[in-house]
Structure 1
Amino acid sequence: MTETQPDHLVASVRAVLPSLTPSAQVIARLILDDPATVARSTITELSANSGVSEATIVRTARMLGFSGYAPLRLALAAAAARAEPDRLVPGDLGLSDPLSDVIAKVTRSEIEALSDTAAQLNPDQLDTVITAAIAARRIDIYGVSASGLVAADMAQKLLRIGMSGHAFTDVHSALTSAALLRKGDLAIGVSTSGETPDIIEPLRQAGRAGATTVAITNNPWSNLARTADHTLVSAGRETSFRPGAMASRISQLLLVDCVFVGITQRTFATSEQALKLTREAVSDYMAEHRPRPRS
Structure 2
Amino acid sequence: MGNPVKEIFNKGAAASDTPPAPAALAAKVRTLAPSMTRSMQRVAEAVADDPAGCAALTVTGLATRTGTSEATVVRTARLLGYPGYRDLRLALAGLAAHQQSGRAPAVTADISVDDPIADVVSKLAHDEQQTLADTAAGLDISQLSAAVAAAATARRIDIYGVGASSLVGMDLAQKLLRIGLIAHAHADPHLAVTNAVQLRPGDVAIAITHSGSTGDVIEPLRTAFERGATTVAITGRADGPVSQYADYVLTTSTARESELRPAAMSSRTGQLLVVDCLFIGVAQQTYETAAPALAASYEALAHRHTPRTTHR
**Above 0.5 in TM-score?**
yes
Percent identical among aligned pairs is 48
Query: TM-score of the superposition, structure 2-length normalised?
Result: 0.84
Distance 2:73 2:211 in 1: 25
Match for residue 26 of structure 2? 10
What's the counterpart of residue 168 of structure 1? 186
Q: Is residue 134 from structure 1 mapped to residue 155 from structure 2 by the alignment? A: no
Counterpart among 199, 209, 220 of residue 181 in structure 1? 199
Is the CA contact (8 Å cut-off) linking 1:33 and 1:89 kept in structure 2?
Answer: no
Where in structure 1 are there 5+ consecutive unaligned residues?
A: none
SS in 2 for 1:29: helix
Q: In 1, Cα distance between the equivalents of 2:22 and 2:103?
A: 16
Is the Cα contact below 8 Å between 1:195 and 1:224 reproduced in 2? yes
2:61 pairs with 1:35: no
Of residues 213, 229, 232 in structure 2, which corresponds to 1:195? 213
1:214 to 2:238 alignment: no
The residue that corresponds to 1:269 in the other structure is 288
Question: 1:126-173 CA deviation, whole Å, 9 max, x = no partner?
Answer: 221111011111101111111111001000111111211111112222
Residues 198-236 of structure 1: CA deviation (Å, up to 9, x unaligned): 222221221111011111112222222343111122222
Aligned to 1:82: 98
The one-letter code of the counterpart of 1:272 is A
Moved more, 13-22 or 145-154: 13-22
**Matched residue of 1:82: which SS?**
helix
Equivalent residue for 1:225? 243
Residues 1:170 and 1:132: Cα distance change in structure 2 (over 3 Å): same
* 1:38–1:247 CA distance, 2 compared to 1 (3 A): farther
- Other structure's SS at 2:172 match: helix
CA contact (8 A) 1:11 1:235 kept: yes
Matched residue of 2:306: which SS? helix
Q: 2:273 aligns with which of 254, 257, 260?
A: 254
1:90 shift after superposition: 3.9
Compute the RMSD of aligned alpha carbons.
Answer: 2.3
What SS does structure 2 have at the residue aligned with 1:259? helix
Counterparts of 1:268 and 1:114 in 2: how far apart (Å)?
26
Q: Who is 1:234 aligned against?
A: 252
Q: Tell me, what secondary structure is at the counterpart of 2:207?
A: strand
CA contact (8 A) 1:34 1:89 kept: no
Q: 2:301 & 2:84 partners in 1: Cα distance?
A: 58
Paired residue for 1:156? 174
| Structure 1 stretches of at least 4 aligned residues deviating more than 4 Å after TM superposition | none
1:6 Cα deviation from its structure 2 partner: 6.3
The aligned residue for residue 204 of structure 1 is 222
Structure 2 runs not aligned, ≥5 long: 1-20
Deviation at 1:26, TM superposition (A): 2.4
TM-score (norm 1): 0.88
What secondary structure sits across from 1:239 in the alignment? coil
